[in-house]
Structure 1
Amino acid sequence: MAEELDDYCKIFVDLVSTTAVTNLLSELADEPFAGRTIELSIMIIDVLENPDAGLTDDFVTWPVLIEIEKPPDAAWEDYIAGIDRVLVHLWGNGAQAVTACDFEHKLPWSGGIRRVVN
């Protein structure tokens, strides 16, 4: 039986502003955001302030939340590879980032949870 996974993915980011995150992701995609959103052929990305920011020290309360969805025509492999690139780009620029999705096991460092620095 084939694995059925929900394509929705959250990435919690420990950077102080959504602007910092959108700038990093615009750099990666080589495209500007339209407001808080960027639509690419392999993913749709929204960058938001995390409404739970600061409630605890847990990663789910980091200041920035990225929501990612797969467009209907995008291939799963391309979608997952795109999220992989987003994570690696964030990490490479000094941000802590952790995913919450059905396919964390397919991402580097299990979506970042094994990489978190306390």
Structure 2
Amino acid sequence: MPHHNLNLFCKIYLDTDLDRAIVLSDISRAIGGQPGPYSSLVHGICDLDVIRNDDFNEQKRKVLPDGFLFSKYLIEIEPSKGIRTETYITTISRLLERLWERGYKAVASCDFEELLLNKGGYNQLQE
């Protein structure tokens, strides 16, 4: 089924006290690509940036279920030109899976959460 009207921009809320450079190298290990300037990832499938979350809040980030909104970092992702939607979505699922395996708190926020592994992770917060 083609996803014509899907907005493919994706944000992943990532909470960790690790340095941004470490986060970026873990992302690079998860899905390939090379860390680029300004905490971006140079990758064939997606354009990815790790930015500080302006809403970061030391206390609120620990409060369920919406604490993830106050995570320390945001990963902003868009597909590279000409990349198939399925390939892009699979890559984001793989990234989430690897981040969770490494113990990161990560929750995706996008129009295609339903298509992601564990629906992007929001449900895991309820456990």
Does the TM-score normalized on the shorter chain lie above 0.5? yes
* Displaced runs of 4 or more, over 4 A: none
| Partner residue, 1:92 | 101
Say if 1:13 and 1:64, in contact at 8 Å, map to a contact too: yes
Q: 1:54 aligns with which of 41, 57, 60?
A: 57
CA distance in structure 2 between the partners assigned to 1:111 and 1:86 by the alignment: 10
Q: 2:77 aligns with which of 64, 68, 72?
A: 68
CA distance in structure 1 between the partners assigned to 2:13 and 2:117 by the alignment: 15
Q: Tell me if 1:38 matches 2:44.
A: no
CA distance in structure 2 between the partners assigned to 1:106 and 1:99 by the alignment: 11
Any stretches of 5+ residues in structure 2 without a counterpart? 62-66
After TM superposition, the score normalised by the length of structure 2 is 0.84
* Equivalent residues, number: 118
Considering only aligned residues, what root-mean-square deviation do their CA atoms show, in Å? 1.9
Any stretches of 5+ residues in structure 1 without a counterpart? none
* Larger proportion of helix: 2
| Percent identity between the two aligned chains | 31
Say if 2:46 and 2:79, in contact at 8 Å, map to a contact too: yes
Equivalent position SS for 2:51: strand
